[in-house]
Amino acid sequence: MHTPVNASWKLQAIRAAVLVAGLLPLTLAQSDNQLPAGKGREAVLKMCGGACHELDVVTSERLSKQGWANTVDTMISRGATGTDEEIAAAIDYLAEHFGREPRATSASAPKIYINTETATELATDLAISTEEADAIVRYREKEGKFKTWDDLRKVPRFDMGKIEGKKNRVVF
């Protein structure tokens, strides 16, 4: 027998499902913007695109290729799925875009000109999301050129930890 309380609960559940379904494309679109273009990007989105955690959990990591292989193996043991080819592509992509910085001298690594690069260039060169790169450019346009690393720390909604390894490449 249906009571008004049960009907009200069902209506709330339906509303919640519609809300979640409406927000899911927005969440996935935001996730897409966190990953730079490259071979294996789609595999990462498929395997790590928000089922268990947000992509920023992935993009904040800096691991060696073996470290990423271990992490992906752990995620697969917890329910992530992908073909052998997708898994290999995801590991390669993560190691390339979110790997440990090579121990290169400052002369051999390309410089990142924080005061002149566009948001697109910063997103690529710093391996950060387009939103974070846009925040850097907006702050720079509003406050003036960055003079020091501490100036860059003042950018709202930007995680400096993502670029600590590139500190020696940033030119003010």
Tokens of 121: 């260039």
Strand, helix or coil at 63?
strand
Axis crossing angle, helix 41-48 with helix 65-77, rounded to the nearest 10: 40
- What is the rounded CA–CA span in Å between residue 101 and residue 112? 14
As a 3-state breakdown, the chain gives helix, strand, coil percent values, each rounded to 5, of 60, 5, 35
Strand pairing partners for 63?
99
Is residue 4's pLDDT more than 70? no
Is residue 21's pLDDT more than 50? no
Burial of 34 (0-12, 13-18, 19+ CB in 10 A): buried
Average pLDDT of the segment spanning 64-89: 86
- List pLDDT tens digits, range 33-59: 567 888 988 988 888 766 677 777 777
- What is the rounded CA–CA span in Å between residue 32 and residue 117? 22
- List pLDDT tens digits, range 121-169: 898 888 888 899 999 999 999 999 999 999 999 999 888 888 888 888 8
Is the model's pTM score more than 0.85?
no
- List pLDDT tens digits, range 83-99: 999 999 988 988 888 88
